[in-house]
Chain A
Amino acid sequence: MSEWRTHTWLRLKALIHRREFDRDLEDEIAFHLAMRERKQQKLGLSADDARYAARRRFGNATLLKENTREMWTFAFVETLWQDACYAVRTLRKSPALLAVVVLSLALGIGANSTIFSVLNAVLYRPLPYPQPGRLMAIWETESGRQNSEEPPAIADGADWKKQSHVFEDIALTSSTESTPLAGDGRAEQARAQFVSPNFFHLMGASPMFGRVFTASEAQDLTQTVVISNSFWKRRFNGDPRVLGKTLKVSGVLSTVVGVMPPSFGSFYGDPLDLWCPIDAESTRYSERKDHWLMAIGRLKQDANQSQAQIEMVMIAHRLEQAYPATNRGVSAKVVPLHDALYGEAGRYLYPLLGAVVCVLLIACVNAANLLQARTETRRTEFAVRASLGAGRRRLMRQLLVESGLLGLAGGTLGIALTFAGIRLFRALARDFPNADSVTVDTRVLLFTLAVSFATAMLVGSAPAFQAARTDLNLALREGERRTTSGKGGRRTRHILAVSEIALAMVLLVGAGLMINSVLRLQRVNPGFDPANVMKFDLSLAEGAPYVERLPGGDIERATPLVTAFYRQLLDKVTAIPGVESAGTITPFGFGYTFSVLGKPAPPPDKMPRTVFREITPSLFRALRIPLKKGRYLSGSDLPGAPWAAVINETLARRYFPNEDPIGQRLLLRFIDMDQKQPRQIVGVVGDVKWYLPESEPDPVVYVSYLQQGSDYRGGSILAHLAQNLVVRSAAGLGNRAAGLTEAVKKAVTEVDPNQPVTGIMTMEQALVRSIGDSQFYARLLEIFALIALLLAAIGIYGSMSYFVTERTHEIGIRVALGAGRGSILGLVTGLGLRLSCMGVAIGVVLALGITRVIARFLFGVTATDPVTFGEVGLGLLGIALLACYVPGRRAARVDPMVALRHE
């Protein structure tokens, strides 16, 4: 051990004092020779003879020096360093090649690291809570659908908590909900999570200061809230005396009792302002019909998922017997919380990972192809080195060091591209979960390093083996004559070119399908005229002064202030100069059932269903929704008049196929509560698609906001409180959008200073947003496919160029023997085309198998759409042909004299 230490220490010293060491060795040997020389002279030899004798007696001084020096150094590192220096020198000689190889590797590696960093942030990082592996989501499964995952009824969740022995605790939480916020003069739309009081304790979080909820704290008229760190800083400027301050959250007077630390943000990776308590034991939820809270359980230390699953099924069975009316056939399903939150994101991301792996493979093939050609031209060099005694291993190592350097350079540049890629991803993804936490962390760096290394080995191994196989005789002799290279090398290059085309084909087909989907989506007729229309989202507070909560049940009563608000607002907005018309429509289309008066009522579970939308009558004109029959709703449809309804064509077609719907009377029902009066159908309008990817429009009933009862059940009051205001500008919107927005905001504040306005955009923007997912996907695939296409084109071009250079001699002979330019061009492009066709054919087969993974993102095209396949294939062939044409023309211009003298 100590011997080894002296060893290393002395060696290190020698390494540092390199020059000194060399001089010392030199001196030591010189001293020896001088001494011996003197002795020989004393014995009577002449000066020259003495020197000669001394030298002879000493032996090969250079070799000895070499051996000694080697002893003192870290031989492996040194030769590696030598190889690296040599590699840098030779690579510098072909800067263009170097640039192309490094750049293509960087593109491939950067794309991979970008997608990996997204996967890392969304899927691989454990949830930021203590012992996250013990957190489970518990879903209800619907009767007859064992795979469904539904939020349980709130009372069911409370029962689960009471009966479970496997879970330490079970909490309930809503998704992030937008809710109006007032108090201290500023109105805004807050993002809130409604949770059972035990939520924080279960997640293992404690407040930065203040406290979290105590059990059954939620009341109907007042409540306590816990606020997020970002909200505390934004709304209260980080005031430490925030505890005890009050806000009006959805009209409920709310006292701030705690502030959470910055590390405890939203559950779903989106911004969050505050948490409101829910009392699951409240009689409000005793009917077991409110399925809007997700259940989260923390397993006991020694329990596992399957034990929990078994127990939950038993509990669900007991509940089924206790509450047959609501729970018949309902069971339970336990899944890890991480999967429940991000499993869906994985289904988006893995196809993208596949795409970037494809890009990287193309980049590798491309680099290998280019380096391969280089290895062949360097065969003489290798042969010379081999005959001077370089071992096979040494040659292979030399080539691997070269590709390693290329990989390293590509990786470094790739990391830089990753930073750019992440910014691009965030810009494209908008509200992708956790998009903000996508960063380049240690894991991403390690991944990049590993990918670079693997890339380097992949790229370098083929030329390395080839170099090791070099036949000295052949290579040296051939080197002189410089004719065509071995058959093996050519075949390898052709295989590489074909696989590049095939991989590019797969990616292009994927991108092509997505682009076709987006084009089709953009061509969908939304059923109204979105031009020159702006949209504003309004949501009145679900509390005072607009709503009274009737104690003890699930019924809320709207005050007349709601209709007054919208009536005044419409009057003011319509009076704004330049406004042609304005109307409102609720964004919440609740599912209602209905019966037609005078017709036999079907059994309760076969009742016809429709979407119910409250509007102001002026909406149809403002959006120019075409009238098909009868009349629009009008200003005369007032509370005192008989209640009217307008239906869409789908409803008319589905439920009144052979009769005139006009004049029929419908009694609408939400859950089990009938509306106060039946409504007479007065008109039929065209179908509207608010959300473009929606393929089949649902039946819709439109009714006036003025003809409503005051009591709503099960949250259906939201359709009364929340309305989207649409405003049609008389002239083109253009630069008037900002002015119009200001005027509308002012009108809202005049009617209710506490009312925030959100979601301001043009109707066209809103429609584009509705296809956002597909567009985002198409963009990313488009980028990857373009990179792939570029790389493949470079690959083909490189192959063909090399082919031409290699055969200049042969082409010269052909021309000399009378071959026309056309036939020479044909020779080159023919080969290129053959390779490309082969690549495209293989690519089609691969794509047929692979595109299924993106079938769920497609619209209007199937995953095997022959038109897309055809277009992409032809396009790729065209580009390949172009890439062959340039070297082909060079071949055709070959001057036979020059080519033959080339020898």
Chain B
Amino acid sequence: MKDKETNTGELLRDTLDMLVLKTLTRGAMHGYAIAEFIEEATDDVLRVEEGALYPALHRLELRGLVAAEWGLSENNRRAKYYRLTAGGRKQLGEESARWGRMTSAIARIMEA
């Protein structure tokens, strides 16, 4: 019972991680900007609870895939900016390759 929960959780989590990493290829951003970007880019299709972004960001930071530092936002508030590390870039490469393989495989079945 418990195991199954974590499995589905993991699937979503991995996707979110990938999206965050991809977003950060555009440069350093704070959490709100990342959320805004994902929502706008997907026309609000992928509108998850925004809060869920933060555990994801911290997890990526802990794994050394993103680095964080505090800076000033556009309206002069203290904000935490995240940027991609070399490790993160490499991870993103692997993830998107995997993602590509998977979607094309799924597509082949769905279109068959």
Contacts and interface: CB of A to CB of B under 8 A. Distances in A.
A2 B49 CA distance: 32
Interface string A1-32: 01100110011000000000000110111011
A2 B63 CA distance: 9
Interface in B68-88: 70, 73, 77-80, 87
Interface in A20-65: 24-25, 27-29, 31-32, 34-36, 57-61, 64
Interface residues of A, number: 26
A473 interface: no
A59 B51 contact: yes
Given A58-B51, A64-B54, A34 B62 contact: no
B58 interface: yes
A60 to B, nearest CB: 7
A32 B32 contact: yes
B64 A28 contact: no
Interface stretch (A67-75, A587-595, A895-903): A67-75
B78 A58 contact: no
A57 B61 CA distance: 24
Contact of B62 (A7, A29, A35): A7
B4 to A, nearest CB: 18
Contacts of A2: 64
Contacts of A35: 32, 73
Contacts of B35: 32
Contact of B31 (A7, A32, A60, A67): A32
A10 B77 contact: no
Nearest to A57: B50
B27 interface: no
Contacts of A29: 51, 54
A593 B8 CA distance: 99
Contact of B51 (A6, A24, A61): A61
B49 A59 contact: yes
Contacts of B32: 31-32, 35-36
Contact of B63 (A3, A32, A57, A67): A3
A875 B78 CA distance: 79
A71 B62 CA distance: 9
Task: Provide the main secondary structure of the chain A interface.
Answer: helix
A64 B54 CA distance: 8
B62 A10 contact: yes
* Among B51, B73, B77: residue with most chain A CB under 10 A: B51
A6 B64 contact: yes
Interface residues of B, number: 23
B52 interface: yes
B101 interface: no
A560 to B, nearest CB: 99
Contacts of B87: 3
Contacts of B52: 59, 64
A3 B86 CA distance: 12
Contact of A68 (B49, B58, B63): B58
Contact of B49 (A25, A27, A34, A58): A58
Contacts of B70: 24
A59 B50 CA distance: 7
A64 B52 CA distance: 7
A58 B52 CA distance: 8
Contacts of B78: 27, 31
A67 B49 contact: no
B73 A68 contact: no
Contacts of A68: 54-55, 58
* Among A3, A25, A31, A67: residue with most chain B CB under 10 A: A31
* Among B50, B59, B70, B79: residue with most chain A CB under 10 A: B50
B54 A28 contact: yes
Nearest to B58: A68
Contacts of A25: 54
Given A2-B64, A11-B62, A72-B62, A28 B49 contact: no
B1 to A, nearest CB: 14
Contact of A31 (B51, B61, B64, B79): B79
Interface in A786-835: none
Nearest to B52: A59
B59 A71 contact: yes
B36 to A, nearest CB: 8
Contacts of B49: 57-59
Contacts of A67: 55
Nearest to B70: A24
A71 B63 contact: no
B79 to A, nearest CB: 5
B89 to A, nearest CB: 14
Interface string B32-59: 1001000000000000011110110011
Nearest to A38: B75
B64 A3 contact: yes
B77 A34 contact: yes
Contacts of A3: 63-64, 87
A17 to B, nearest CB: 13
Contacts of A58: 49-51
A486 to B, nearest CB: 30
Contacts of B31: 28, 31-32
Contacts of B61: 10
Given A36-B50, A61-B51, A68-B55, A28 B62 contact: no
B77 to A, nearest CB: 6
A2 B86 CA distance: 13
A31 B58 contact: no
Contacts of B77: 31, 34
Contacts of B73: 31, 35
Interface in B3-33: 30-32
A34 B30 CA distance: 13
A849 to B, nearest CB: 51
B55 A24 contact: no
Interface string B88-102: 000000000000000
Nearest to B80: A28
A262 B48 CA distance: 79
Contacts of A59: 49-52
A840 to B, nearest CB: 51
Contact of A32 (B50, B55, B62, B64): B50
Nearest to B34: A32
B103 to A, nearest CB: 27
6 contacts: A6-B64, A7-B63, A27-B78, A29-B51, A34-B77, A64-B51
Interface of B: 30-32, 35, 49-52, 54-55, 58-59, 61-64, 70, 73, 77-80, 87
Given A6-B62, A31-B73, A35-B32, 16 more contacts: A27-B80, A28-B54, A31-B30, A32-B32, A58-B51, A59-B49, A59-B52, A60-B51, A64-B51, A64-B55, A67-B55, A68-B54, A68-B58, A71-B55, A71-B62, A72-B58
Interface of A: 2-3, 6-7, 10-11, 24-25, 27-29, 31-32, 34-36, 57-61, 64, 67-68, 71-72
Which 3 interchain pairs have the tightest Cβ spacing?
A59-B49, A59-B51, A6-B64
